[in-house]
A and B are shown apart, each in its own frame.
Chain A
Amino acid sequence: MLRVCIREVVRNVLAITAALLLASMLAAVGTGFGVDERELDRRLTEESHAAIRQTAQESRLSPGRMLQFASRAIHGDFGTSTSLGRPVAELLRERVAATLPPLAIAWLITVIVGVSAAAFAALRPRGTANLTLTVASTFLISIPCAVLALLFAWMRLPVVAALVAAAIPQAFRFAQGVLNGAGGNWNLLAARARGVGGPGLAIRHLLYPAAPELVGVATMTLTFLIGAAIPIEALSGVSGLGHLVWLGAIGRDIPVIATMTLLVSVATLSAGALAELSAAAIRTRRTA
C-alpha cells in the first residue's frame, strides 16, 4: 500500500510538472506565435502595429517567461485573458458553478447506468441483450458529442442530458471491458448453482470482485466527461469552463488555454491517483 502511495505521488508530481511545463510553453509562445491577427487591422495606426510587434517579440518562448507563468500559476495568478480582457482567475471563479454541478450529476448517472448495463450484459454473455447493448453503444459512441449537444439544445433538454447521453456508451464500454468474461468465473457459477440470482448476484458476485477496476472505470468516465463538456457547453450556450476553453481556442487566448491545460491535467491526474489509491486500498483490505 505504501509503495503504491509513493509511486502515485512521484508519478503525479512528475506529470503535474510536465503539465505545468506544457502550459508554460503555451503561455510563452502566446501572442508571439506566427502573425498576430491585429497586425492585419488597417484601422490601427503604425505605432499600434509597432507596439503589437514589440509585444510579440518580447513574448517569444523563453525559459524566463515559462518560469514566470509557472511561479504566478502556483500563486493563483493565471494572467489576463487576451480575448475577454479579464483576469483568468476571475473568469474561472465565475464559470465553475455552471460546469461542476452538471458534470458531477452526469458523472454519477453515467457510472451507475453504464456499469449496471455492463453487469446486465456480462451476466448474459451469449444473450441478445448483450449483443444489442454492445451494438447500440458502439453506434452511439460514433455520434460526435457536438452533434448530441445540438440535438439536445434543439430538443430544449438540459446540458446534463447531453453529457449523460454522450458518456453512457463510453462508460458501458469501459465497464464491459472489465466485466466481460466474468460471466464464467467460478464464484459466479457457484453462486448461480446455489440459486442466487437477480441484483444480488450482480452486486455481490460480479461487481464487488471487480470493484478496484470499476474505480478506474469511474475515473475514465470522468476524464471523458471533462473533454465532452467542451463541445457540449460551447454549442448549448452554457457559460461554463468548457465554453471558456472553446472561447480560448477560437480567440487564440493562450493564457486561458494554458491555465485550463494546467487545471484539467491536475484534476484528471488527481482523480487518477485517487482511483489508484482506492483500488489499492480495496485490494489490501481483501487480502488482509
Chain B
Amino acid sequence: MTVPRLALGLVAGLLLASGVAELAPHYAYDEQFRDAIDAPPSRQYWLGTDSLGRDRWSRFIYGTRVSLLLSITAAGLSVVIAAGVGIVSGYLGGTANTVVLSGADIVLCVPWFFLLTAVRGALPLNTEPLVSVVLTFALLGLLGWAGPARVLSLRAREIAGSDYIRQATACGVPKVRILLRHVAPNLTPILLTQFWILVPAYIIAEANLGLLGLGVAEPLPSWGVLLKDLETAGNWGAPAVLAPLVLLAVVAGSLQLAFQPRQRSSN
C-alpha cells in the first residue's frame, strides 16, 4: 500500500470513526456536569471532563468531525476557485494569464497566517457558533486559491501548446469544448493533489485561529477550540488534553508526507 493511500485511509477511517463513535456512550458537546468539573478519565467520562464540566470524549468526537469535514469542504472550495481561474487563464494565455499569475503572486507574497488573521479580524467575531464555523472555513477556502491556481495555470498553459489541442483547434472545436473535454480532464491528478495538500494546511490554520480566539466559537468544538485547554499550564501532562494535538499532528503529517513532491533524480 502506498503512502498516499495510507494517509487517505487514515482520514477516511477517522471520519468514519467520528461518525460511528456516536453509537458509543456520549453526551451533547455542550452538556455541562457541574458536579464533575475537571474530572479524570472514568467509565462515565472516557477522557474526563473540562473546566466547565463538559465531557471531553464527546467534544473530541464532534471536534474531529467539524475540523476534518470542514477542512475538506474548504479545500474543495479553494480548488474549485483555483480550477476556474487557473485553468481558464492558463488555456487562454495572454493578459488573462498575466493578471491571474500576478494576482496569485501578490496573495502568495503576504504571509498566509497574517492574511488570514487580518481578514478574519475585519469580520464580526460575536456571531453564532455555526456562523463562526462557516465564516472560518469559508475564509480559508476563499483565501487559499492562489497556490493551486498558479500550479494549474502553468500546467494548463503547457497543455494548451500541445499537439492534440492544436489539432482540435484546427478542426474547429469550440474553445469551451476543448477546455472541458481536453484540458480539464488532464489536470484532474494535479487538482486532486492540490486538494489534499490544502486539507492539512487548513486543519493547522483552523487550529491556530481557534487558539487565538478567531476561529470556531464556543461551545462548538473543533480541534482548535479543544487545544485551548493547553493554555492551562497543568494540562500539558494530561493525555486527554493532548489527544486532539496528537491526532491533528498525525492526520496533517500523514497527508503532508503523502502528497509532498517526490524527490527527483537528476540523472
Contact = CB atoms under 8 A, between A and B. Distances in A.
B204 interface: yes
A245 interface: yes
A14 B204 contact: no
Given A37-B126, A248-B121, A261-B118, A146 B227 contact: yes
B248 A144 contact: yes
Interface of A: 11, 14-15, 18-19, 26, 29, 33-35, 37, 125, 134-135, 138-139, 141-147, 150-151, 154, 173, 177, 180-185, 223-224, 226-228, 230-231, 234-235, 245-246, 248-250, 252-254, 257, 260-261, 264-265, 268-269, 272
Interface of B: 102, 105-106, 109-114, 117-118, 120-126, 200, 204, 207-208, 211-214, 224, 227, 230-231, 233, 236, 245, 248-253, 256-257, 260-261, 263-267
A146 B207 contact: yes
Given A144-B211, A235-B211, A19 B266 contact: no
Question: Chain A: interface secondary structure?
Answer: helix
B231 A249 contact: no
Nearest to B248: A142
A154 B235 CA distance: 10
B114 A143 contact: no
B117 A252 contact: no
B248 A151 contact: no
A138 B250 CA distance: 10
B111 A226 contact: yes
Contact of B263 (A181, A223, A264): A181
Nearest to A121: B263
A246 B110 contact: no
A14 B103 CA distance: 10
B204 A142 contact: yes
Given A227-B112, A265-B110, A146 B118 contact: no
A14 B266 contact: no
Contacts of A223: 109, 111
A12 to B, nearest CB: 9
A197 B214 CA distance: 51
B113 A249 contact: no
A83 to B, nearest CB: 10
